Amino acid sequence: MDTMMTSFDLSEKKALIVGGASGLGKAIAHALAGAGAQTMIADLNGPEAKKVSEEIEAGGAKALHFQCDVTRHGEVAALVEDAVARMGRIDILVESAGLTITGTPMIDFTEEQWDRIMDVNLKGMFFVNQLVARQMMRQRHGRIINIASMSSVIINQNSYGSSGVYCVSKAGVLNLTKAFASDLAPFGVTVNAISPGYMRTPLSAPFWEDPVGSAEKCSRIPMGRPGEPGELAGIVVYLASDLSTYTTGANILVDGGYTIW
Ligand SMILES: NC(=O)c1ccc[n+]([C@@H]2O[C@H](COP(=O)([O-])OP(=O)(O)OC[C@H]3O[C@@H](n4cnc5c(N)ncnc54)[C@H](O)[C@@H]3O)[C@@H](O)[C@H]2O)c1
């Protein structure tokens, strides 16, 4: 292996993937394991997290699984403690837990809907970053990768209504990422965001099942199609690796060109 490829090698690295039971988090967990990392899959859905860890172990890599609700500070603290007790350290964090509510214009959004989105997408993101960051500061090394969305920089418009509050939560993720990047830079910890465009996952399944909605969406994407979860693998492995030592506070769009237009 040449030096460049060796630098992408994540052997000996311990990676915690929160929201790793489904969709993008699951694909990212497989990508990190494929690059040699030992993985810890955490999710609200414990049985699915277990399945993903079993799939990874079937491929010959070490994997653990945890049940955790990111909206509960105590559960996140217990997750980090448990993860460190069992793996020794956390070199890489990917925070992918998230949800959306579409089709409700800003003017009709309820307090309950606002809280649901903000609790998971922003408050949960904060708890996970903060508690893992404390461990990474002690290690004086770490890579934090937050899954934002292209909705952090645009407002999605669909024939069946916007998802404005989701966009607000994802815009928050960007400045949360920058604020942690600023505070953690002296400790050898980088913090970056990946902003996917429309990806084919269980979260977005309703869009793709509707032929009219899906054609409408594809017509707005220069590449003319949704992304597949595995298409985040390269950027995740780069951000997790020793080739990204000077990249922090960045937001990397992976959207098939959606935000060009
Ligand atoms: N799919 C897309 O098109 C797309 C595009 C841009 C950004 N994203 C973002 O990517 C992330 C992953 O989305 P996905 O498409 O893989 O969705 P998904 O629904 O397939 O996976 C999300 C995972 O988060 C978990 N989760 C939800 N609430 C949780 C909580 N309180 N505590 C712990 N885990 C919780 C779910 O159980 C699920 O396993 C989200 O933040 C989403 O906003 C998705």
Q: What is the pLDDT of residue 161?
A: 61
The whole domain housing 177 covers: 3-260
Q: Give me the number of domains the chain comprises.
A: 1
Residue 258 bears catalytic tag? no
Q: What is the pLDDT of residue 159?
A: 62
Q: How many degrees, rounded to 5, is the angle at CA 169 between CA 147 and CA 24?
A: 25
Q: What is the pLDDT of residue 79?
A: 98
The answer, yes or no, to whether any atom of ligand 1 lies below 6 A from the CB of 25, is yes
pTM: 0.98
Ligand 1 pocket test: which of 17, 18, 24, 41 has the largest number of ligand atoms within 8 Å of its C-beta? 24
| Ligand 1 centroid – CA 204 distance (Å) | 10
Ligand 1 pocket test: which of 48, 116, 129, 203 has the largest number of ligand atoms within 8 Å of its C-beta? 203
Q: Which residues of 19-42 are buried (b: 16+ CB within 10 A; e: fewer)?
A: bbbbbbbbbbbbbbbebebbbbbb
The dihedral sign for the CA sequence 197, 199, 201, 204: positive
| Number of neighbouring beta carbons within 10 Å of residue 51 | 16
Q: Looking at residue 185, which CATH number applies to its domain?
A: 3.40.50.720
Q: What is the pLDDT along the chain (261 residues), one digit of tens a residue?
A: 577 777 899 999 999 999 999 999 999 999 999 999 999 999 999 999 999 999 999 999 999 999 999 999 999 999 999 999 999 999 999 999 999 998 888 999 999 999 999 999 999 999 999 999 999 999 999 999 999 999 999 998 776 566 899 999 999 999 999 999 999 999 999 999 999 999 999 988 888 888 888 998 999 999 999 999 999 999 999 999 999 999 999 999 999 999 999
CA 148/CA 174 separation, integer angstroms? 7
CA 148/CA 253 separation, integer angstroms? 9
Q: What is the pLDDT of residue 160?
A: 58
Strand order in the sheet with 14-18: 63-67, 38-43, 14-18, 92-95, 142-147, 189-196, 251-254
